[in-house]
Amino acid sequence: MVAVVLPSLLATQAGGRKRFEVDAATVESALRGLPIADLLFDDDGALRPLVNVYVDGADVRYADGLSTPVSGGQTVRVVTAVAGG
Amino acid sequence: MSSTLLVGTRKGLFVIRDGGVEGPLLQGWEVFHAIASGGVLYAAANHFVYGAIVQRSEDGGATWERSEPIEGLKRAWHVEPAGDGALYLGGDPGCLFRSGDGGRTWEPNTAIAEHPTRERWQPGAGGLCCHSIQVLPDALYVAISAAGAFRSDDGGETWTPINKEVAADFLPEKYPEVGQCVHKLLAHPGRPGRLWQQNHCGTYRSDDRGESWERLDGNGLPSSFGFGIALDPADPDVAYVFPEQADEYRVAAEGRLAVWRTGDAGASWAPYGDGLPAPAWAGVLREGMSFDADGVYFGTQSGSVFVTRDGGWHEAASQLPAIYSVEAAEL
């Protein structure tokens, strides 16, 4: 199983649950199964621009994006980009 | 004050009732507008990362359910009940949606989306926002900044611009068919055909469903500019506005927090009531005024909510986040 960890606001929207254990082979399948998936993806099905996703600390944008493979024991962390001072 | 007030802010939703302030609900969301209908709370909720959505609560705000994703919606501005569980949603970019299932799913109004005048619409400072929706037995009305006001006589199948004699001073053609920057449009619930609008370029009243408009701000208001407007359900000749310095400044006119009232359909205006602080340089946004049979209410961008039943103003809340909307509700 792959762990998915959400930031505070998304956890609230997920009914107060911050951590999910999912059976997934890619980052996209791990995220699509979440109850807050609608907040992560835009109308075109792409990850919203200010949503960052890390697998074991590595930004998936520098790997294969949503196609980045995941396997049991790994942690997918959703992090909201913070801009400004 | 018997009403509950729903106060949408930049940092969530607050509820004022029985002299107390509850919240924030929907913390982290910008609540552009919230309203109650049939015991359900609806919030036009926006987030700079997670997008625009309608949130609904059947338990007074303890828990919330998101609508299905609303394709094409950049920002949710206004939710308007239409009876029998139906609702309308106005938003950016100049879009109108209808829900027939209590706000769970939303269908776009294609006649607005494909309106033949659309290429002449342009966004105002708040975007190309559909912010006013009025549901009357004989017509639907919407207002969009900066496209103007529109009326539908066929349930939303077609929309007629109703902007004759309404100024658009910022355009080369001062009185175009469309392109006016309406800031808020309301229909009086008891006088068929009577509309009021606070516009970027004046305060107006129509007595013929928008076929013609009479400009009223020259009748004593300190400014032609403002956003919110409130009415009296028992008296169609009464209206309240919050004049602001136009249009680069957008704070209380004359440095004075003042609601101005007309009791003669706009033929004259006078400051309404006592108890508002001065000097004051706060602003009130387009959804920031509300009314019901009991009183008049407004909220400022500096986080204060003022209420009155009889002209004596009382600060019901202060130090809230910037207030986007105030709506009187029966819960």
Q: Where are the domains of chain A?
A: 2-80
Instruction: Domain A2-80: give its CATH code.
Output: 3.10.20.30
Residue of A43, A47, A52, A53 best to disrupt the B interface, most CBs of B under 10 A = A43
Q: How far is A70 from chain B (nearest CA, A)?
A: 24
Judged by CB atoms closer than 8 Å, whether chains meet at B66 and A39 is answered as yes
The token duo for B129 is 């926002």
pTM summary value: 0.95
pLDDT-derived band of residue B1, with 50, 70 and 90 as boundaries? very low
Amino acid identity of residue A39, one-letter, is: L
Residue of B50, B71, B105 best to disrupt the A interface, most CBs of A under 10 A = B50
Per residue in A22-71, pLDDT tens? 999 999 999 999 999 999 999 999 999 999 999 999 999 999 999 999 99
Q: How far is A43 from chain B (nearest CA, A)?
A: 6
Number of domains within chain B: 1
Which residues from chain B sit within 8 angstroms of residue A8, using beta carbons?
28
**CATH code for the domain of B288:** 2.130.10.10
- Domain containing B197 equals 4-329
Which residues from chain B sit within 8 angstroms of residue A43, using beta carbons?
69, 71-72
The Cα–Cα gap between B74 and B95 comes to 9
Closest C-alpha among B1, B33, B7, B35 to residue B331: B35
The side-by-side arrangement of strands in the sheet containing A75-80 is A19-22, A2-5, A75-80, A51-55, A58-59
Per residue in B232-271, pLDDT tens? 999 999 999 999 988 888 889 888 999 999 999 999 999 9
Judged by CB atoms closer than 8 Å, whether chains meet at A40 and B50 is answered as yes
Quote the pLDDT of residue A1: 95
